[in-house]
Each structure stands twice: as structure tokens, then as C-alpha cells.
Amino acid sequence: MRKLRGSPMLVVAMLTLAGQLIAQQSSRSVVIHAGQMLDVKSGKLLSDQTLVIANGKIVSVGASAGTKAPADALRIELPNATVLPGLIDAHTHLTMDPKFGYEELGLSIPREALIGAKNARVTLAAGFTTVRNVAADGYSDVALRDAINAGDVPGPRMLVSGPALGITGGHCDNNLLPYEYHAVGDGVADGIAAVQHKVRENIKYGADLIKICATGGVLSKGDDPQASQYTLEEMKAIVADAHRLGRKVAAHAHGAQGILWASEAGVDSIEHGSYIDDAGIAEMKKNGTYLVPTLYLADWFLENAERNHVPDFLLVKAKAVMPAARKNVAHAFASGVKVAFGTDAAVYPHGLNAHEFAVMVKLGLTPLQAIQAATVNAADLLGWPGKVGSLEPGAWADVVAVDGDPLNDVTTLEHVKFVMKGGEVVKNEYGK
């Protein structure tokens, strides 16, 4: 490298000036003029709205005619677009790609972290400015979250779980190798003392929440999706420790008994809910437990199973569980359970997350209810109400825009054309 010429004092002065200019630019106010804005709380589509943003947060939002904006603000004109809050996906696996069965064994933890950097960028560009990452090997999701927060790589805001807790031989164990390899999943813990230790260990290494496997799963070998795995007592111990230490708990649960026990134990959300029944629905409504259905994945997975060389021992389970989930989740929707948006992205390629909306509507939600699941409801589940999932003063300036009216056609959200995260534009197909 060439050496800097001139006096040390001159170099210091130049660097100081550069820093001041960068600070001034980053603190500059931004004004977004939107032809239409969806108020996700009221469900109203408002015309001719203006958002004023400073220091990454929304300062004001309202009718353009009554809004006073700083004269030197950066103006973004979206007169023909519909603006709404940045979307939230409460069930992702950014450090994973669609790889099934023994193909999973070829990935190291450093490779998974790099996969995560790719998928974080794609997910953000698709309009999902916040995600909850529920399970990753070796705390690779913690590393990804920290890299995004540091500005090293682009991506959504992340709440992460680290390794998912599960029983020996269960869905969250490594069941693909024979005995002589002594392979054990990172989150495996059996018994009350062991699960308490694992909760504390995950928190020690950076987990924002705890993910548990309450039942067997689909994309794992040797377990039954309908069989309960953790006992009620073990789950109560997990939840007690997690909540006392300020972490929420997400429970992977397909089977009816596991759903019932997990809600009774106090988990904050049931992930998947494929065999949810009336008893589980009643328990979840009583306890305020969220259902995070993951529905679109069935379409993509079954259509692409042969191309992706999905092993028969996984495909047999998928063909039984995925259609049942559609029927039972539709019943849960009609029964009024609380719903937060989640996709299980990684079972299909990241960036297709918004395809989930159309399936939710097909199974009985209105477009507004589906959008609320991915905004205000998901924000509540994550513990960030008023920060994400709404366009209101004090919220982080996470904004997306689409053509058309998503209340009439929810598939417009599959084609997000403008994305802002924290007041910074990361995608703008409308121009300046």
C-alpha cells in the first residue's frame, strides 16, 4: 500500500472531516411519499400519505397535505405504489438450503454461516425485514445475526435460537449416521436437569429465544411426527427457565398430544401444528399461544421431491403429514387461534417466503388477516410490538412497497419492489 503523504495532523483532520460528513449523511431525514399506505392495525388503505424518518425511525406518518417535512430531507416518491410495514417471518432457517437426508452431512458449520449470509440478503430483498431463525447448527445463526447488526453483511433483523433442543433420537438429533460415529445433535438433552442446562447454555452463547422439538418431524429419520417427544414436565422446566431469563419458547409440534402439552407448558408459539385438534385449539386459545403454520412448503417440496432426490423415508412422511396439515390448520384458523406468519424457508428456496400468504388465504384467512399475521401479530410474538410490524412514530423505519392493492390480491406481496430497513433503502425498482 502507498503511504499517506503529509503531516500526521493533516491526516487526522482529513479523517475527522470524512467522519463528520458520513455522520451528517446517515442522520439526514428521509421523506417517503406514498400513493397508498396500508394501516395494518385498522385495515384501512389510506391515500396520499407521507412518512418522515430520522435516525432510522419513523418520526411521523399521515396525510401529505398536513405533513411538514424538513427542507433538506431526502425525498422518495412512490406515488403509484402501496406502502406497508416491512414483513416478518417468524419461522426461518437462513443458514440452511433445500438439502434433504444424507446430503445434509456434507455441510460444515462455517459453510452454513456463509449460506446464511447469502440467504439473509435474498430474504431482505423479498421484503422480509425481520425474521425469527428457529434452529441452526453450531450457533451459526448467532454469528449471522451479529454480522448483520455490525453492518458486515446485508440482511433482516434477526432473533435467533441457536441449536434446537430435542430428545435423543428425536427430530432435532442427528439420526443419519450409525452407532460407531457417535453423532449427537447440538441441542440434545434428556431429563429436567439436562434441559435446564441446555436452555442456559444456549442463552450463554447468544440465543434470543429457545426452540424445542415437542414431537417428531417430517424431514428426519426414524421418528414419528405424531409422537410426543419431550414430556410435559420437561417442557415446563424449559419454559420456566427460558421465561425467567427473558427468552420466549417456540415449539416444533406436529402431533396433537405434543401441541396440547406444549401449550399447557407455556410455550409462546406452536410451529407447524399439523395434527392440531379441538383440545389443542382450546388450550392454545386459553393460554394465548400463537400458531405459526408453515404451509406453502408442501407445494414446493412435493413438486420438487424427485428433482431434489428426497429419500423415501422422508417422502413417505411428507405425503402423509403435509395434506393433513392443510385440513387441520384451516380448522384452527376458523376456530380463532392467534396466528403469526412463518414459512420454514429452507425446505424451499429462500426469497419465496411471500408465497405463504396465498395459502393462508386459501385456507380461510382474509388477505388482511394474513398480512396482520406477518406484521402486528408477528411483532407481538417476537416481543417487538411498536418497533416492527407497523408504520407509526417510534417504530423502526422498515418499509416495503408493492404495485396494486394487497387486500384485493395478496399475491402482490410476492413481488415487492421497494425495501427500506432502518431508514436505509436496500431495494428500489421504482427509481428515485
Quote the longest CA-to-CA distance of the chain: 77
CA gap 94, 134 in Å, rounded: 9
Q: Which residues of 312-346 are buried (b: 16+ CB within 10 A; e: fewer)?
A: eebbebbeebbebbbebbbbbbeeebbbbbbbbbb
- Range(s) for CATH 2.30.40.10 in the chain? 29-85+389-428
Give me the pLDDT at residue 25, please: 43
The DSSP string of 103-124 is GGGG--HHHHHHHHHHHHHHHH
pLDDT value at 19 more than 90: no
pLDDT of residue 285: 98
pLDDT in tens, 194-209: 999 999 999 999 999 9
At 247-269, the pLDDT tens digits run 999 999 999 999 999 999 999 99
**Is residue 415 over pLDDT 70?**
yes
Three cell numbers written together for 165: 433442543
3-state class (DSSP) for residue 246: coil
Residue 232 sits at φ, ψ, to 5 deg, of -60, -40
Domain with CATH 3.20.20.140 in the chain: 87-382
The DSSP secondary structure of 291-340, one letter per residue, reads EE---HHHHHHHHHTTTTT--HHHHHHHHHHHHHHHHHHHHHHHHT-EE-
pLDDT averaged over every residue in the chain? 93
Residues 27-37, mean pLDDT to the nearest whole number: 92
pLDDT for 368 equals 98
Helical spans, DSSP H, in 126-217? 140-149, 192-204
pLDDT band of residue 68 (cuts 50, 70, 90) is confident
Grid coordinates belonging to 35? 400513493
Q: What is the pLDDT averaged over residues 76-99?
A: 97
Cα–Cα distance for residue pair 197/199, rounded to 1 Å: 6
What sign does the CA torsion over 229, 334, 351, 209 have?
A: negative
Q: What is the pLDDT of residues 321-365, one digit of tens each?
A: 999 999 999 999 999 999 999 999 999 999 999 999 999 999 999
Closest CA to 203 of 166, 143, 235, 163: 163
Instruction: Read off the pLDDT of residues 108-167 as tens digits, 9 standing for 90 and up.
Output: 999 999 999 999 999 999 999 999 999 999 999 999 999 999 999 999 999 999 999 999
CB burial of residue 99 (10 Å; 0-12, 13-18, 19+): middle
**CATH of region 87-382:** 3.20.20.140
* β-bridge pairing 157-160 and 128-133: parallel
Q: Report residue 387's pLDDT band, with 50, 70 and 90 as the boundaries.
A: very high
User: 432 falls in which pLDDT band (50, 70, 90)?
Assistant: low
CATH no. for 29-85+389-428: 2.30.40.10
> Which of 17-31, 53-67, 304-318 has the weakest average pLDDT?
17-31
